[in-house]
């Protein structure tokens, strides 16, 4: 559990540092943009690696028995729907369609939906820590961007909306049919 928490602190901490605009600007000026981005990417990668490693260690042993709640019977279906919406949001983030203008923060909305869905169907302490942290981060990012009045600025291409939805469904199918059963060894269907 310790590796999971350290990984979350590193991964989310470096992302939260980005909100401190003056501190980030000062550090970028001192290090240079390339070095700053390299260090940022390295800390993110190490943090994500520790999150994955730490979470995988909780699947067996004493940590596997730390159950906070038992998910309701309908949670699995709700999770599948929320994750589908999350994958579409992730795809929307990379395209310039009307959906991105409407959502404003598709990546953060996707993270929040993904995390909320997984919280619905996972009551283990390690799952609550992992998915709860990502849910809080996603909601925080949406709140900060809304308070700052962030609006994406581009000319939307309706074709990108169709591409986003198809790409999101393909991404969802990959995680449902390949990643979960063969990489995580946790079949969903």
Whether the per-residue pLDDT at 80 is higher than 90: the answer is yes
Q: How confident is the model at residue 128 (pLDDT cuts 50, 70, 90)?
A: very high
Both 77 and 36 in a single domain? no
Both 52 and 75 in a single domain? no
Long-range contacts of the stretch 42-49 (C-beta < 8 A, 24+): 43/10, 43/11, 43/13, 43/14, 44/10, 44/11, 44/14, 44/15, 46/7, 46/10, 47/6, 47/7, 47/8, 47/9, 47/10, 47/11, 47/12, 47/13, 47/14, 48/7, 48/11, 49/7
Taking all residues of the chain, what is their mean pLDDT, rounded to a whole number? 95
> Which residue, of 57, 73, 100, is where some domain finishes?
57
Domain that holds residue 35: 1-57
Both 48 and 140 in a single domain? no
Q: How confident is the model at residue 126 (pLDDT cuts 50, 70, 90)?
A: very high
Share of the chain above pLDDT 70, in %: 100
Whether the per-residue pLDDT at 11 is higher than 90: the answer is yes
Both 113 and 189 in a single domain? yes
Whether the per-residue pLDDT at 187 is higher than 90: the answer is no
Both 21 and 95 in a single domain? no
Q: What is the pLDDT of residue 65?
A: 84
Q: What is the pLDDT of residue 185?
A: 86
Both 29 and 70 in a single domain? no
Q: What is the pLDDT of residue 2?
A: 94
Both 118 and 186 in a single domain? yes
- No. of H helices and E strands in the chain? 8, 0
Both 37 and 114 in a single domain? no
Both 85 and 50 in a single domain? no
Handedness of CA 88, 93, 98, 102 (dihedral sign): positive
Both 48 and 74 in a single domain? no
pTM value is: 0.92
- Alpha carbons within 13 angstroms on the beta-carbon side of residue 171 total 18
Both 164 and 187 in a single domain? yes
Is residue 164 within 8 A of residue 95, CB to CB? The reply is yes
**Model confidence over 105-120: pLDDT tens digits?**
999 999 999 999 999 9
Whether the per-residue pLDDT at 189 is higher than 80: the answer is no
Both 25 and 98 in a single domain? no
| Structural domains of the chain, count | 2
Whether the per-residue pLDDT at 90 is higher than 90: the answer is yes
Q: What is the pLDDT of residue 39?
A: 96
Q: What is the pLDDT of residue 154?
A: 93
């Amino acid at each position: 559990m310790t590796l999971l928490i350290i990984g979350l602190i590193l991964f989310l901490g470096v992302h939260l540092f980005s909100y401190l605009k003056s501190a980030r600007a000062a550090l970028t000026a001192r290090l240079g943009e390339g070095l700053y981005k390299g260090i940022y990417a390295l800390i993110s990668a190490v943090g994500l690696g520790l999150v994955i490693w730490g979470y995988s260690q909780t699947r067996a042993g004493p940590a596997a028995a730390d159950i906070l709640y038992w998910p309701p019977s309908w949670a699995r279906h709700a999770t599948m729907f929320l994750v589908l919406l999350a994958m579409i949001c992730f795809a929307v983030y990379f395209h310039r369609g009307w959906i991105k203008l409407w959502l404003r923060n598709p990546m953060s909305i996707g993270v929040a939906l993904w995390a909320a869905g997984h919280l619905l169907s996972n009551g283990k302490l390690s799952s609550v820590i992992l998915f709860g942290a990502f849910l809080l981060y996603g909601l925080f990012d949406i709140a900060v961007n809304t308070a700052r009045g962030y609006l994406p600025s581009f000319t939307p291409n309706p074709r990108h909306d169709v591409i986003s939805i198809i790409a999101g469904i393909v991404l969802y199918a990959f995680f449902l049919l390949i990643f979960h059963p063969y990489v995580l060894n946790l079949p969903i269907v």
